[in-house]
């Protein structure tokens, strides 16, 4: 066998190996999610919504991943007027408030994967999520965040999720969209769920 042929075969073998590795990357990226689903782990879509935008995204996700869907609600409803709720949300954050919540998730231990959705209020999750996550230990669950916003994306929301759920596996590449686009975001939601291996 000539040296030239050996060199050519070496190139082909490296090229084949590279193609094989690249073809496996999507499987590796979504492996944790797929294995959880295959082993019988349950999925929860947990969301807070004021204007309805985050609810729309939650419904799109739930339609594609199945499992259960729960809306986080407070004992005292937030004002409907936009400017008023903005002021209330700002005051709660400045006071580090923990609004009382009416939502109870009695079977939280049954879920392996929890989608957490929220509108970005003043750079992070609305304070009712702080109430919920301080009362409920997420343990080592997989947490998949999604948010609606008007330009600030996740803000520091993911960092706060890591602080509130220190042992959980939190997906950094969550889904975000502007609130005004929520009603037409279904294709983007499907593409995102496909990338992270959560389409059923």
Angle, nearest 10°, between helix axes 3-38 and 186-195? Answer: 110
- Does pLDDT of 21 surpass 50? no
The superfamily CATH assigns to domain 41-195 is Flavodoxin domain (3.40.50.360)
Domain ranges of the chain: 1-31, 41-195
Please tell me the predicted confidence (pLDDT) of residue 14.
52
Average pLDDT for the chain? 85
- For residue 162, the cross-strand partners are none
DSSP sequence for 32-76 = HHHHHHHTT-EEEEEE--SSSHHHHHHHHHHHHH-SEEEE--BSS
Please tell me the predicted confidence (pLDDT) of residue 200.
84
Q: How far apart are CA 125 and CA 101, in angstroms?
A: 15
Label residue 40 by pLDDT band (50, 70, 90).
Answer: low
Angle, nearest 10°, between helix axes 53-65 and 186-195? Answer: 50
Please tell me the predicted confidence (pLDDT) of residue 9.
39
Angle, nearest 10°, between helix axes 127-135 and 157-164? Answer: 20
CB neighbour list of residue 120: distance below 8 Å, 6 or more residues apart:
147, 148, 149, 150, 152, 153, 154, 155, 157
Question: Which residue matches tokens 């499987």?
Answer: 27
Residues 142-172: tens digit of each pLDDT: 999 999 998 899 999 999 999 999 999 999 8
Residues 60-110: tens digit of each pLDDT: 999 999 999 999 999 999 999 999 999 999 999 999 999 999 999 989 999
Q: How far apart are CA 96 and CA 71, in angstroms?
A: 22
Q: How far apart are CA 92 and CA 152, in angstroms?
A: 19
How many Cα atoms within 13 Å fall on the side-chain side of residue 109?
1
């Amino acid at each position: 066998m000539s040296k030239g042929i050996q060199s050519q075969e070496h190139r082909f073998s490296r090229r084949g190996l590279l193609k094989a590795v690249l073809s496996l990357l999507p499987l590796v990226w979504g492996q944790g999610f797929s294995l959880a689903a295959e082993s019988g782990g349950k999925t929860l879509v947990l969301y807070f919504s004021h204007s309805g935008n985050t609810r729309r995204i939650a419904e799109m996700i739930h339609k594609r991943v199945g499992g259960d869907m729960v809306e986080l609600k407070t004992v005292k409803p937030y004002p409907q007027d936009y400017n008023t709720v903005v002021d209330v949300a700002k005051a709660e954050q400045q006071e580090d408030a923990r609004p009382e919540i009416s939502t109870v998730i009695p079977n939280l231990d049954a879920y392996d994967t929890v989608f957490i959705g929220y509108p970005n209020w003043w750079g992070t999750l609305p304070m009712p999520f702080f109430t919920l996550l301080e009362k409920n230990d997420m343990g080592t669950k997989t947490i998949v965040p999604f948010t609606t916003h008007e330009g600030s994306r996740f803000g520091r929301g993911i960092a706060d999720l890591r602080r509130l759920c220190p042992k959980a596996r939190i997906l950094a590449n969550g889904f975000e969209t502007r609130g005004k686009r929520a009603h037409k975001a279904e294709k983007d939601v499907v593409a995102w769920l496909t990338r992270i291996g959560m389409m059923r």
